Amino acid sequence: MRKIGVFICHCGVNIARTVDVERVAETLAGERDVAFATHYQYMCSDPGQNLIKDAIEKYSLDGVVVGCCTPTLHKSTFMNAAQSAGLNKYNVEIANIREQCSWVHKDRNEATHKAISLVKGAVAKISLSEPLYDFETDLNHNALVIGGGIAGMQAALDIADAGYKVYLVEKESSIGGRMAQLDKTFPTLDCSACILTPKTSAVAHHENIELMTYSEVESVDGYVGNFRVKVRRKATFVDWDRCNGCGECLNVCPIRTPSEFQAGIGMRTAIYRPFPQAVPNKVVIDKRPLAPCRFGCPAGVNAQGYVALASQGKFAEALALERKDNPLASICGRICSRPCESQCKRGEFDEPISIRAIKRFISDYEEEIVPPDLPEPKDKKVAIVGAGPSGLSCAYQLARRGFKTVIFDEANRAGGMLVAGIPEFRLSRKAIEKDIEFIKSWGVEFELGRRIEAPERLLAEGFDAVYIATGAHRGNRLGLPGEELDGVMYAIDFLKKINSGERVSIGNNVIVIGGGNSAIDTARAAVRLGAEKVTVVSLHQSFDDMFAYREEIDEAIEEGVEFEFLSMPVRFIGENGKLTGVEFVRVKLGEYSEKWRMREPIPIEGSQFVISADSVLPAIGQRPDLSFIPENSPIEVDHKRGRILVDETTLATSVNGVFAGGDATTGPASAVDAVAAGKKAAESIRRFLEGIDLYEGRTDNIMKVEEVQFPPPYKRQKREKEQFIAPEERIGNFEEVSKGLSEEQVIREAGRCLACGGCVECGECEKVCEPQAIVHDMIDRIVEIDVATIIVATGYDPFDPVKKPELGYEENPNVITGLQFERLVSPSGPTGGEILIDGRTPKKVVLVHCVGSRDATVGNLYCSRVCCMYLMKHAHLIKEHLPKAEITAFYMDIRAFGKGYEEFYDRVRNEGVMFRRGSVSEIYRRGDRTIVRAEDTIAGEVVEVEADLVILGTGVVPRSDVDEIARKLRLPLSQDGFLLEAHPKLRPVDTFSDGIFLAGTAQAPRDIPDTVAHAKAAASSAMGILTQDKIVVAPIVANVDAERCSGCRICEAACEYGANEFDEKAGVMTVNPILCKGCGACATVCPSSAITVNTFKPAQIFKNIDALLR
Amino acid sequence: MHKLLIKNELLGCIQCGRCSAGCPVSLRTALSPRKLIYKNLRESRKLPKSQDIWSCTTCRTCQQRCPKGVSVMDYIIGLRSYQVERGKIEPTMRDALESILKHGNPWGRPREKRTQWIDDETDVRILSEGEETDVLLYVGCTPAYDPEIQKSARALAKILNDADVDFAIIGNDESCCGNEVKRMGELGLFEMLVEENTALFKKYKFNTMITISPHCYNTFKNEYALDFEVLHYTQFLKKLLDEGKLQISASIDKKVVFHDPCFLGKQNDEYDAPRELLKYLLTDEDNLLEFGRNRERSLCCEGGGGRMWLEVESESPRNAEIRIDDAKSIGAEIVATSCPFCQLTLNDAVKTTKSEDKIRVVDICSLIAENKFEETEMEE
């Protein structure tokens, strides 16, 4: 028999109103094991506690059950009372008859019955309790503060002033937080920076504070007094020991990306500091995965880089950057298929950047090719077979590395298909010559007019490696009746002739067959030769699905070329050996076919028709001509498809030292693909010649930027249009049709770039950095620190009004957020503190209260507490800057609850700000006006108010990464998504994890004075731990029964805290009571039931349940 | 406390006025949802007898904007329902409801003529009981009977045939969906329609239902418990387009603005499918204009909630007229929409504002059909 005392609390009337406390006490008094039972109005009060103490002594109680409120409130109160009366405090149990009974029930009889059950259950549990004793352990005396805003700084300063070491970890490169972004502070109108900078400076210079900016907490292990924290020191790419904060780099960086500090209404460079007064005054480089344009280029050309340099007028630097990866700047600036532009993120917004036109400009801008500084020559020699884009690219890349290269080509001119297949009106010969000259300037030699047979033999002729890049020069044949007729000429032969200056006679009526670029080129060439009627006949169903580029088609249409779709040639008709027409049949398109590279054309029976013609030029594609590789060659070839077989990664052929790439290995592809292959082969050849592994590191995944933000300052701006020769002036000559962009256009066009990839490693900053602090290959570092206590001061995010599309934030440049207004009115903002919208001074201003607060439509039910006041401050600042401005505030309720706040409200009203009661329902454009629609609920009328500037009183929301913070620190969130405090009234800075405290807006929305107070409270709580000599740990931990433990170690994996430690010698599991949280996860997985948790032993739980159910 | 207040959470109202400010008729009629609620909160046992509730177009903006989760529109429909139960309903609306009960359509037309929209050039299969089809085209009352909107039905049928879609219709057995019935407050009739229609659909085998009207789409999708997919035709055509089964080539060289129907946009969050279709039709994407009040803010045409059968008194111009004026002011030549009611109200407004030579109102499916089959009757 136990002697248990039962004490039922009335909690004023909180419990007693619904639960008959007297009856509960009486009923319990008659229970087994109960020696004494009573009730009292406030058991937690001193007289109440004395009641317990006296009873313990008088009845020699060995257990106490208190029926009262939740144990999180007063269990420790009663445990301490019991302990002081000589009873082991772990023999005290709480039956929660308030939150779990009286507050949730109405029926007094049922509630009383339930209360009796709950208390009986507690008695049953405690009847099996045993005395337990706290553990003690040592602790370190350091604190960690996470977040360098006003809360974090204040907490750090308080703790540091008390003489303890503080680590202050901040995600950004500077401390200061949100408060640094504010202009003035309400209601005193102190300049935010002026009251903040003394703090930042104090933090920076405090001997007890170790500042870790641009860093994030990676993980937290351990327990109060002995936390071990891993901190990721993110790579800044700048050696901060060397950086002196001079800011020279900021002047030369060509990248412009939205500034986080300016809340999106200003721009910053890729190498940057958030604001000029940053602490520490150091710069970082914003590096991201590759920009999609750069990623999309097969040759990996740094498109974003040269576009950025071009935007600054640094055309020579831009060209040099381009040429690192592609020597054919002038050629590709004209005819590249532009995979970069199709990936350009700006295209999702309005139109892609005209990257190719910029490339053309920077290349044409160069007046004279400056001889490069040649590298130290190497004694290895490489033969390149084929002077097309792939061969040129390979030779150039090798020459840049000092290898001697010789290019062979059977043609008398270098350029391959670029000269043979592309007419001058698309690609001027001057452009080709320029790139060739540039390649020659690197020492590449050409042996033109020499056909190479069996190229592997070159290895025996003094070459150390060979690259075959012979392209695809053989025209495909239709194989139709009448091909022998005079007037049938394959387009590739036709183009080769006219491109070598031959005048070809084609007559007046010309048919071109095909849907690709060479069909269009052929048709346009025919027009220039004077043909009166040129018809392109293709299998496709419209311009949209033709293979040819749309712009080429459009130019052909301008030049009078006609089109016939869904038609397939059947035979060529002639008289006396001379072509007179072509018979076609209509087709319909079936399913996609690999063979056709389009949906399979199915002839429609009986739909034959004839088009008369003087000549027909089929342009139905080419294939490699591999006649230079003999049948018995050791170089493996797929003769059926006409491809040289190579390894995909290295482009190595079956012969050691012989590589091949470009169209000869893939069939016809684009020029930039050929350039890419050449570059790839050059890398393989270099490795081959230097004896390095051909594969290593080449198949690694390269990341690209997936999401790019288009913040509101970006306005729709169409791409610049190239100048073209008028269509009527194009006939009869082959002059290049496009004249490209002008210098002004290029600067404007390049300025449209969103800089998706951040830093482009153009090297401009390195040139001006005197202390040579730039370190492009820096990597993140993880450091470990030991701390006794942690303060979480991670702050908040402003509500994103994009979530309320009816407010028109995205489309109206004059609808801005509260934080953006702070930047707009701040002297350090993008306008230098002038209130300008689109360069104009607003006359009518509307302030919108409660945007994203108190709003179930966005799931934020709470009041953000600062918006009413900051909007009043904005109204005041506008009045100060623009006394004539008409200001209307639409509000639901005004909350001016702090010291001096109501007075500030009075002041602002007296300044002439109109407050109308009613919440704004929608904001939209009417012509060039912005209309705010709300109901003035006092007047009872719906109003439409015009505004030049609308400030949205955006509320306070949890940080977007709050889940991650919560996960790392194992902290729960409250329903509103902020970090949860241990008790909303009594423990506002504590968490449920001992030693971890909350400060500022990470816990709930609050203004600066409340934040500072909260931070000081958190600091004081943290110091309560730091001042201890020992840490006391409750004994509610798991125990292992060594007799029963089989040593299976399953529990080890179940423990989240690493408390289960295997005793190798004894072959059994042990539990480190300091690390154990008593969660019981190990007990539930133990197959031999060897683990029990103190105060939650199975017998106790079962007896408890039995009693509850009785 | 009246149960209608509890059911629609009126007690949570903080009188902020977002409902009234968002209401498309609050500036041209006496309807003010906020005032209605306030009155009812003060006299919570009985319901207000206001006749203003009949101005409501059930566009649902009020309910969507409410920061406190008050079911404002449902409450107004509830008020209507109490009046309907007591026989207090405008005669024109009553006639429409009676016609639905008798003929299965609100237009007073005989059931036997429901398939008369099908002309010689239109190839449409009519299902018999037990028959199977991939897609069931639910035509709806207005496209079936209204001579102007019949064009949309024919256009859609042609497009579906051209894309080789296996589709069919129910024919004369098809009945009103009940969307407007419910919103006029005739809940008994609505429940009957749900029961009968659900049983009717079970007689056929099909995978997807497509509707011409967003109103039918709304009630089938959200208020019936059906075991098949329901799509608005713009969504279905967009799908065909993505799958390569429908080809639209750019041919319209005019400035077009899309008017978001409330029952497609605001109530069912479909803003993009119609715009995507239009982009394919335009030779220059920049010619797709936007109203200042677009998408979530689209100004209701006043065709919903039974307002097709009730003109409200007002000195202010109709919303449809405002819409046409707005379209003119942004330089649009075509107002495209995808709802029969919007088409009718906006077309009327073109006439009353004498804008016939400047603006054309047209359904997206008619635009597509014109584009594909130029020689047919679609050309106006």
Q: Residues 6 or more apart from B77 whose CB is under 8 A from it?
A: B56, B58, B182, B183, B185, B305
CA dist B358 and B380 (Å) reads 14
The band of B376, judged by pLDDT with boundaries at 50, 70 and 90, is: very low
Residue A92 belongs to what H/E stretch? strand A92-96
Q: Is the model's pLDDT at A87 over the cut of 80?
A: yes
Asked whether A417 and A663 are in contact (CB, 8 A), the reply is yes
B18·A935 Cβ contact <8 A: yes
What domains are there in chain A, each with its CATH number? 4-133 (3.40.50), 142-234+785-794+959-1031 (3.50.50.60), 292-367+709-757 (1.10.1060.10), 381-473+625-690 (3.50.50.60), 478-620 (3.50.50.60), 796-958 (3.50.50.60), 1037-1093 (3.30.70.20)
Strand partners, A943: A934
What domains are there in chain B, each with its CATH number? 3-85 (1.10.1060.10), 104-242 (3.40.50), 256-372 (3.40.50)
Contacts of A855 in chain B (CB under 8 A): 67
B329·A940 Cβ contact <8 A: no
Residue A623 belongs to what H/E stretch? strand A622-623
The band of A271, judged by pLDDT with boundaries at 50, 70 and 90, is: very high
Q: Is the model's pLDDT at A326 over the cut of 60?
A: yes
| Chain A interface includes B21 (CB < 8 A) | yes
Phi/psi of residue A1094, each to 5°?
-50, 140
Token readout for A970 is: 């194992």
A918·B21 Cβ contact <8 A: yes
Span A96-123, average pLDDT: 96
* Mean pLDDT for all residues in chain B: 95
Q: Is the model's pLDDT at A701 over the cut of 90?
A: no
SS3 of residue A930 by DSSP: strand
| Chain B interface includes A83 (CB < 8 A) | no
The band of B379, judged by pLDDT with boundaries at 50, 70 and 90, is: very low
Asked whether A615 and A506 are in contact (CB, 8 A), the reply is yes
Which ipTM did the prediction report? 0.94
Span A86-104, average pLDDT: 96
| Chain A interface includes B289 (CB < 8 A) | no
pLDDT recorded at residue A545? 85
E strands present in B212-314: 229-232, 256-258, 288-289
B residues 227..266 contacting A (CB < 8 A): 244, 247, 249-250
B21·A925 Cβ contact <8 A: no
Strand partners, A954: A851
E strands present in A852-928: 886-891, 914-917, 920-926
Residue B13 to chain A, least CA–CA distance (Å): 12
For A940-961, what is each residue's pLDDT tens digit? 999 999 999 999 999 999 999 9
DSSP A151: H
> Hey, how many other C-beta atoms are within 10 angstroms of the C-beta on A695?
12
E strands present in A871-970: 886-891, 914-917, 920-926, 929-936, 941-947, 949-954, 956-958
Q: Which residue of B has its CA nearest to A892?
A: B16
pLDDT recorded at residue B248? 86
Token readout for A463 is: 């070459």
- Residue A418 backbone zone (phi > 0: left; psi -120 to 50: alpha; other: beta): alpha
Asked whether B180 and B310 are in contact (CB, 8 A), the reply is no
> Hey, how many other C-beta atoms are within 10 angstroms of the C-beta on A33?
17
Q: Which residue of B has its CA nearest to A717?
A: B286
Asked whether B33 and B19 are in contact (CB, 8 A), the reply is yes
* Mean pLDDT for all residues in chain A: 94
A806·B17 Cβ contact <8 A: no
A residues 943..972 contacting B (CB < 8 A): 943-944
For A363-385, what is each residue's pLDDT tens digit? 999 999 999 999 999 999 999 99
Task: Classify residue A626 as exposed, middle or buried by CB count within 10 Å of its CB (0-12, 13-18, 19+).
Answer: buried
Residue B11 to chain A, least CA–CA distance (Å): 15
Contacts of B293 in chain A (CB under 8 A): 922, 924
pLDDT recorded at residue B128? 94
Q: Is the model's pLDDT at A86 over the cut of 70?
A: yes
The band of A712, judged by pLDDT with boundaries at 50, 70 and 90, is: low
Residue A892 to chain B, least CA–CA distance (Å): 5
Q: Which residue has the tokens 């081959």?
A: A688
pLDDT recorded at residue A616? 95
Q: A4-9 and A34-40 as β-strands: parallel, antiparallel, unpaired?
A: parallel
DSSP A544: G
Asked whether A5 and A36 are in contact (CB, 8 A), the reply is yes
| Chain B interface includes A931 (CB < 8 A) | yes
For B178-229, what is each residue's pLDDT tens digit? 999 999 999 999 999 999 999 999 999 999 999 999 999 999 999 999 999 9
Q: What is the pTM of this model?
A: 0.87
Of A146, A155, A160, A163, the closest CA to residue A205 belongs to: A160
| Chain B interface includes A803 (CB < 8 A) | no
Token readout for B356 is: 């016939």
Residue B318 to chain A, least CA–CA distance (Å): 17
Distances in Å between the Cα of A496 and the Cα atoms of A30, A389, A422 are 112, 17, 9
For A510-541, what is each residue's pLDDT tens digit? 999 999 999 999 999 999 998 999 999 999 98
B247·A850 Cβ contact <8 A: no
Cα A998 from chain centroid (whole Å) = 28
